[in-house]
Structure 1
């Protein structure tokens, strides 16, 4: 690991250059050149990607250019396979978790792999988490819901308790956003659906009593600045107190749980970053980039460097110190 003052990026993704045939209707990669490919889901084009999704040398060069000491490398959510039979999701998770280790190995510690698990089956998810962590994964990325089951679902809570017991950090990424004629224009599923999905899942963690059930040792971080949660905390708090007959289902009001989770800095604007820091506190925000996708931030961490309101200690904490705590890195 490189010096503590350098940036640690806790939100990046990978896609392998190859994987075995997963069967009809499952993701596969249509290579279009040495540098470009299309992620396919069955016969449907999902996303065009570049070789920086799988090429370790390109990734490391980009990190060097941006002053990134280390980055967490997580699955691309389209591969979660939560809508398949559990045995299929186990197969997919094992394949991609093992390939992630191959991609990260040349980084000599700078690339920190996070695994995926078959979250629709809590027992299988716990087993795959154990297998992946024992093989070298440092954490796990999960989707923010499994069909209509949110993060307060009993099975998901069982998994989160297991992650806490093992000391494994959890990164929550929105995925599988609703589709409609209104949301299918202008990338609206990504521009409005993703923030809403993440916001809803934090609400579920609070009102569903998850933070009341799982130990304080659970380290959990939400992508994309926690979606719209920080901006609407006041509305949430007001509703908890004024309509307690409907939503005061948690032991404490929403504001009491703000130190129980972290968010990344993928908000692009110092004004938005200030809202996160003012709401959650400077200890709860970590640099993320969403590398290598085009809606991500480059250079990595620029919103933190541009934020004139940050004190030097708070800037250092957001750039690296908070991530070290989240990842369990002893300095």
Structure 2
């Protein structure tokens, strides 16, 4: 696509590194081995009852007199689909916590052919999609009592993701797989199983300790990070993949959590920068999904200042030999979709570190106006930088078979 130094005339098609998929009702019936189907997740349709927010999660009950909703039932727990997670096509005032059926959703939420059509309408060439019912990094299965069935569910989800959701898309739908979070050896095996069939992205928790799992400082996850480095698998961490969202007060309205959502990405990035993980695994790639980027310049400044002034008593003098920002620029990717402050600071954020997302079909999604939103952000940038932000960095991050000649030339 052409452009000039004062702005871009015709922006390139977007590669979105953070979208979402609503799982079809047949997923586990089709892809779960028959011996596990009776114990696996079951779809059903019922009225939705009262909502409560308990332990960082929304809890719902069924109600025969409530709004008809599509659900999953698994190990005695029920999970409804809500309008805010399948919001495309609704007005802002209609994007609520009300239940929704697949029939009421835009078909692109769960049907891959329809998704490609919606991507065409939205100036998007390729898309990486996070799960919904399993939650952002597979917490649903990590919390399950029967881990044998849970492991089968993780594998079934990944098989569906690779072979059905992405299989006939010509590479436009990019597979993003789960791991069994409760066992690092099984996680390594799943990374290698999927990498062997071309998968280059896995979803992981931004703050594993919030899930009752070992921290990234403990060394427990090193075999997982080593397998990701070896296979070129990008570790993708979505806001909320710790099953917690930041809030200033326990009784604050959900809007406070929404406004503070980037805090999780910021906390996680600081954790990694001072962990030594990026030193030990210099080719490991981290991607922060839906965290935006306007906060990054100060976070890097503060990290480097702490390293310079406080590294002896701060416990990182021998662990992190270079300023933390050097590891960020080498190994970490952020993403954005509404962040003009981040664009103003793009040289510090990193023209080679920022990627773009559309968040389809969530309440924040830029669908079907992504081209206009992208133009508003990159219109004042050079064509080369606009290309990197909208697609080039994603191609390089995920080793995608798009524009390879141009990407290599741009990063040479």
What band does the TM-score fall into relative to the shorter chain? 0.7 to 0.9
Bigger share in helix: 1
- C-alpha change, 1:316 and 1:32, in structure 2 (3 Å) is farther
State the shift of 1:234 in Å: 2.5
The separation in 2 between residues aligned to 1:153 and 1:25, in whole angstroms, is 34
Aligned to 1:97: 158
Gaps of 5+ in 1: none
Give the structure-2-normalised TM-score: 0.69
The separation in 1 between residues aligned to 2:45 and 2:220, in whole angstroms, is 37
Aligned to 1:195: 262
The separation in 1 between residues aligned to 2:333 and 2:180, in whole angstroms, is 23
Q: How does 1:267-282 map to 2 (within 5 A)?
A: 268-275=338-345, 277-282=346-351
Give CA-to-partner distance per residue, 1:120-140, whole Å, 9 cap, x none.
311101111222233453321
- Does the CA contact (< 8 Å) of 2:178 and 2:203 recur in 1? yes
Question: Is 1:125 aligned with 2:187?
Answer: yes
Aligned residues between the structures? 323
- Does the CA contact (< 8 Å) of 1:219 and 1:261 recur in 2? yes
Question: Is 1:69 aligned with 2:69?
Answer: no
- Does the CA contact (< 8 Å) of 2:191 and 2:227 recur in 1? no
> Structure 1 stretch 75-84 or stretch 113-122: which is displaced more?
75-84
Q: Which has the higher contact order (CA 8 A, sep 6+)?
A: 2
Point out the structure with max Rg over C-alpha. Answer: 2
Give the structure-1-normalised TM-score: 0.84
Gaps of 5+ in 2: 1-10, 30-35, 48-67, 87-104, 405-412
Which secondary structure state, in structure 2, belongs to the residue aligned with residue 286 of structure 1? strand
- C-alpha change, 1:297 and 1:150, in structure 2 (3 Å) is farther
Give CA-to-partner distance per residue, 1:278-326, whole Å, 9 cap, x none.
3231111111122111123333364432124421100011111111111
The separation in 1 between residues aligned to 2:38 and 2:376, in whole angstroms, is 47
Aligned to 2:229: 164
> Structure 1 stretch 195-204 or stretch 45-54: which is displaced more?
45-54
Give CA-to-partner distance per residue, 1:55-103, whole Å, 9 cap, x none.
1132111110111111123323614333346534422211211221312
Q: How does 1:177-326 map to 2 (within 5 A)?
A: 177=244, 182=250, 185-192=253-260, 194-215=261-282, 217-225=283-291, 228-244=295-311, 245-246=313-314, 248=316, 249-259=319-329, 260-266=331-337, 268-275=338-345, 277-298=346-367, 299-300=369-370, 302-307=372-377, 308-326=379-397
Aligned to 1:9: 16
- Does the CA contact (< 8 Å) of 1:9 and 1:300 recur in 2? no
Aligned to 1:47: 82
> RMSD of the TM alignment (CA)?
3.2
Aligned to 1:137: 199
- Does the CA contact (< 8 Å) of 1:115 and 1:141 recur in 2? yes
- C-alpha change, 1:182 and 1:305, in structure 2 (3 Å) is same
- Does the CA contact (< 8 Å) of 1:74 and 1:113 recur in 2? no
